[in-house]
Amino acid sequence: LFHEADTRNEESLDDNIKTVGEAVVLVRTPVGLGSGFVIHPEGYLITNDHVIEGSTELTVVVYRQSTDGLRKDEYKNIRIVASSSLLDLALLKIEPETAEEFVTVPLANSRTLTQGQKVFAVGNPMGLERSLSEGIVALKSRLLSGQTYVQTTTALSPGNSGGPLFNLAGEVIGVNSLKVVAQGAEGLSFSIPVNQVKAFI
Active-site choice (35, 49, 50, 83): 50
Contact assessment for residue 71 and residue 160, using Cβ atoms and an 8 Å cutoff: no
Instruction: Give me the pLDDT at residue 66, please.
Output: 82
- In tens, the pLDDT along 111-166 reads 889 999 999 999 999 989 889 999 999 999 999 988 999 999 999 999 999 999 99
Which pLDDT band, with edges at 50, 70 and 90, does 187 fall under? low
Strand 44-47: give its sheet, edge to edge. 69-75, 59-66, 24-29, 32-40, 44-47, 89-94, 78-84
Q: Does residue 50 have an active-site annotation?
A: yes
Instruction: Give me the pLDDT at residue 68, please.
Output: 76
Active-site choice (131, 161, 177, 189): 161
CB neighbours of residue 130 within 10 Å: 16
Instruction: Give me the pLDDT at residue 8, please.
Output: 79
pLDDT reading at 179 higher than 90: no
The distance in angstroms from the start CA to the end CA of the chain is 8
- In tens, the pLDDT along 21-73 reads 999 999 999 999 999 999 999 999 999 999 999 998 999 999 998 877 789 99
- Which runs of E-coded beta strand occur in the chain? 24-29, 32-40, 44-47, 59-66, 69-75, 78-84, 89-94, 118-123, 131-144, 147-152, 164-167, 172-179, 189-193
User: According to DSSP H, which parts of the chain are helical?
Assistant: 13-20, 49-52, 194-200
Q: Residue 15: phi, psi to the nearest 5?
A: -70, -40
Q: Does residue 88 have an active-site annotation?
A: yes
pLDDT reading at 6 higher than 90: no
Over pLDDT 90: what percentage of the chain?
Answer: 83
The amino acid sitting at 189 is S
Q: Does residue 3 have an active-site annotation?
A: no
Active-site choice (88, 131, 177, 189): 88
Instruction: Give me the pLDDT at residue 79, please.
Output: 97
196: left (phi over 0), alpha (psi -120 to 50) or beta: alpha
- In tens, the pLDDT along 72-105 reads 999 999 999 999 999 999 999 999 999 899 999 9
